Structure formats: structure tokens, C-alpha cells
Amino acid sequence: MDARRYRPLDRVIGEIDKAIKVLSVPARTRRAAPDAAVEEPALSTAERREAGRLMRVNHAGEVAAQALYQGQALTARDPAVVAALRAAAAEEGDHLAWCEQRMVQLGATPSRLNALWYLGSWAIGALAGSLEKPASLGFIRETERQVESHLRDHLERLPTADRRSRAILERMQHEEIVHGRNAESMGGGVVPPPIRAAMRHASRLMTHAAYWW
């Protein structure tokens, strides 16, 4: 059923339900994890701790991505944009599950600030969705560009032996690039420099905090 037929209260309840599921229910994947056929590496205690922290950051990022896409899909006015957001959110849901599974395997725990990341990202997504189509799609394009850069950094920082985490991040990186290109092909504009800078600062704050907490 088209979400636009729901009453406002129904839509609010729906968004709360989505948030609860992302924050408290183990994520499920529709596709096999990219590391499924990769043998568990022998990592030192320090390597396992570092890889676990990096995967916690990526898990927090995927929590934020779910919120961002849900908020943006709720307020977007163009049905084609909504469909693209829903499709991207489904793939991001797989990313969330993959990061969660690997994080647990490494002995790490989710960020204690995940609820904050979700709430803030949902609000930003809802605001972006209310903008005109070029600006709304441009926001997706810039978000995915920054995420791709972040994943590239993590691939460089991962312990060399941790091929399982590397397989996950490489698949995620590829799909984030595709999401950004799709937004651009649909008419996504260029985000103004001040907004790009603000997005980078917010991302750095989240990644630093999630690394430790």
C-alpha cells in the first residue's frame, strides 16, 4: 500500500517501529555476506580489537544510513525518488546486517550512541527529502561520495590479515558508488561547499565517537 494513504499518526507509528527494529532487533540480510566463503583469519588481540572498532564504526554508519533513507523517503515528493530511496535502503539493510555479524564475530559491541545517530540522521534525511528533486538527489550523491571515501580509509586501516572484514567493506564500497551514480543520473545536483563541509564534520564526529563508544 502507498504510504501516502496512511494517516499522519499511522506514519509516525511506522517510523517509530522502523527505528526500534534497526536499533534493537538483529539485522537480517537478503543476500549472502561477502565474507561467507572466506576463512576466519588468525588475528592478534590488538588486530582483533582494531578491526572490531572499525566495524563498529561502519555498523553505526549503516544505522545512520537506514535513518537517513527512511526520513528522506518519507518526505520526498517524487515517486521515482522514493522508489530509488527504498531500493538503496534495502541494500543498506544488507550492509547493516553484514557489519553487525562481523562486529560480533570480532568481539565488538554496537555503539552506545546508535539511538543518537539514528535520530539525527532521520531528521537530516527528512529535511533533505523536502527539498526540490535536484537538491534532494544531490544530497544522496554527496552522502554516498563521503561514505565511499570513509570506506576507502577503513580498508587502508584494517589489519592486513582480516580478509573477512575487507570483503565486506569492498562490496559495500562498490554499492555505495553505484547509489551515488544513480542519484546523479536521476538529476542530482552539486551540494554547496558549506553544506559539504558541514556533512564532513558531522561524519567525523560520528566516526570518532563510535570508534570508542
Euclidean distance between CA atoms 123 and 67, whole angstroms: 8
- Report the percentage of the chain scoring pLDDT > 70: 97
Query: pTM to 2 decimals?
Result: 0.91
Q: Is the pLDDT of residue 3 over 60?
A: no
Choose among 117, 99, 96: nearest CA to 158.
Answer: 99
**pLDDT tens by residue, 6-43:** 676 777 788 888 888 898 888 888 899 999 999 999 99
Ordered alpha helix ranges (H), the chain = 8-24, 45-75, 79-105, 114-129, 133-157, 163-185, 193-212
- Per-residue confidence (pLDDT) for residue 101, from 0 to 100: 96
- For 9-44, letters b (16+ CB in 10 Å) and e give eeeeeebeebbeebbeeebeeeeebbbeeeeebebe
- Per-residue confidence (pLDDT) for residue 1, from 0 to 100: 40
Euclidean distance between CA atoms 148 and 151, whole angstroms: 5
Give the pLDDT band (50/70/90) at residue 107: very high
**pLDDT tens by residue, 173-194:** 999 999 999 999 988 888 888 8
- Report the percentage of the chain scoring pLDDT > 90: 59
**pLDDT tens by residue, 108-162:** 999 999 999 999 999 999 998 888 888 888 988 999 999 999 999 999 999 999 9
